[in-house]
Every structure is written in structure tokens, then in C-alpha cells.
Structure 1
Amino acid sequence: MQRITISIDEPLADALDAMAEARAYTSRSEAMRDLVRDGLERWRADHVEAAHCVAILSYVFDRRIRSLPQRLADMQHAAHDLVVSTTAVRLDHDNTLETVILRGSAQAVRHFADHVQAERGVRLSSLKMVQVEPGDAHEHPGDHHHHGHLHLTPRS
């Protein structure tokens, strides 16, 4: 393991300590490692176009906006090769939180998310992408067939 020394101002250090305590980290170093991993994953998602990913797109939409629920459903059907699952939570009489799990090329996932997020009436959207390597590699003994699917191994 490499040691890296950084300097941060007191308010930022206090915020880091509060976060580390709230999340039950055993040290600042553990908290910093997770923050760096998260930042690197976001950087990869923004800069690696050809990579595959799994992703979670979450957003709140106003069902009163004319035809919006149907347009969102149509977009998901049109992207059936990307959309793995969708969950909707009715928040009140007008607002729905929808979470869509996606799988495919990072570029296609980002394109889909951009179009959903641009719809009038969609707000509070968030896309979390995890880069994966598709392939057949595994360490399980014995023969088995994948029946047309690939393993998606998270990139470290």
C-alpha cells in the first residue's frame, strides 16, 4: 500500500471526520479510500466511451405533465436492450420516483439517461454508473454453459 499525504482546510477535515463517524469508518484513511474510489469511478464514467457498465438511473417525475408517464414507458421499451428493471414509487398524488437499472455500453446508457433527464417534468435525476468488463472468465470448477450471456466483472 502506498502512503499519500494531503493537506485540507479545517472545515473540510471536520466534514470528513463527521462523515467517517456517521458511516462507521475505522479511520480517515478508510473514508478517503472510498471517496477516491467513488471519484475515480465517476471520472471513468465521464471519460471512457467504449466501456460497458451497469447503472442506476433515478429520477422524480410529475405524472400530471401531459403524456409524460407514457413517454417514459415508451423510451424504456425502445431501449429494451439496455433496461434490465424499473421500479416506481408513488411519492404523493402527483410525483413518482422511478429507478431504472441499465446494462450496456457506457455511451448508450449515458445517451438514454440524457434523454430521460431532458424530458419536461423529470427532475432530481441521478445516474450512477459502474464500469464492468464483459467476459467468460470465472474460477468455478466444472463445466457449465452461459446460454448466451456474459459475466460482467466490475473494474477495479
Structure 2
Amino acid sequence: MGVVSISMPDELEERIDEFGEDHGYTGRSEIVREAVRNLLNEFEDKRLEDRDLMAIVTVLFDFETTSVEEKMMHLRHDHEELVVSNFHSHVGNHYCMELFVLEGQLEEISTFVGKIRATKDTVSVDYSVHPVDDISLLS
């Protein structure tokens, strides 16, 4: 088994240690391996392949980090064929929320979400994906 070294803020390291203790993990490596497996498998759902999908992506960031807002603007323009709608809102005293509505294929949505997750200084990135042809089944 290979060894991978990673750097992370002390706060995140402490959260990983607490999580491991609370959930019975034997160490940080076990937690990180599981997280990586989950991330890699996240967009490999065979039920979603080759279907038109709708996705909602929500990004939370500190409003003082203008680099995040600028990155969101560039992503919106770079993926204008995927982004159906975009909404920006202030949340509390220090945060902004960026909401994207996407319509496209799994690979395109995965790439978009990956670019957002790779953006430094985001507080959180959440999303949901649903096949467009299943929407009529919800009513």
C-alpha cells in the first residue's frame, strides 16, 4: 500500500480525530481512504449515465473572500451551456450563498461540482442531482 501525505488546517485535523473516535475508526488513514472512495464513487451512479439531469448546487463562502465570488462568476460563464439559472444571496453578516441550477449530463455536472469543490476558501458545497425524465413521477 502506498503512502500519501496531505496538508490540512489544524481545525480539520482535530475534526477528523474527533470523528474517528466517535465512529470507531482505527486512525486518520482509514477515514481519509473512505472519504476518497466515496468522492470517487459519487458520480459513478450507473442509473444516471446517459440521461438528462437537473442539479442544484449550493456554495457558501465568506463574503470577504472576493476570489471565491470571482471564481463562481468565471465558472458560470465558462459553463453557460450547463448553468440554467444562478442566484447570489447574502447570508448572515459574513457569508454569501451562490446557488446554481444545472441541466446536462452526469460528466458535465461532475466536472462543474469538482471545480467548485476545488475552489479555495469555500465554506461548504452541497448539491443534488435528479433525472429530468423522472420529474413527472414526483407529482
Q: TM-score range by the shorter chain?
A: 0.5 to 0.7
Q: In structure 1, what is the equivalent of residue 124 of structure 2?
A: 124
Structure 1 position 46 matched with structure 2 position 45: yes
Higher RCO, 1 or 2 (CA under 8 Å, sep at least 6)? 2
Letter aligned with residue 154 of structure 1? I
Distance 1:44 1:154 in 2: 20
Larger Rg: 1
Distance 1:44 1:111 in 2: 10
Q: For the aligned residues, what is the CA RMSD?
A: 2.4
Structure 1 stretches of 4+ moved >6 Å: none
- Unpaired segments ≥5 residues, structure 2: 1-41
Instruction: Report 1:100-115 matches (<5 A).
Output: 100-115=100-115
More helix by share: 2
2:98 aligned counterpart, secondary structure: strand
Quickly say closer, same or farther: Cα 1:78–1:44, change in 2 above 3 A.
Answer: closer
Q: In structure 1, what is the equivalent of residue 24 of structure 2?
A: none
Q: In structure 2, what is the equivalent of residue 154 of structure 1?
A: 135
Q: Is the 8 A contact 1:60 1:98 kept in 2?
A: yes
- Unpaired segments ≥5 residues, structure 1: 1-42, 134-152
Instruction: Report 1:71-82 matches (<5 A).
Output: 71-82=71-82
Aligned residues between the structures:
95
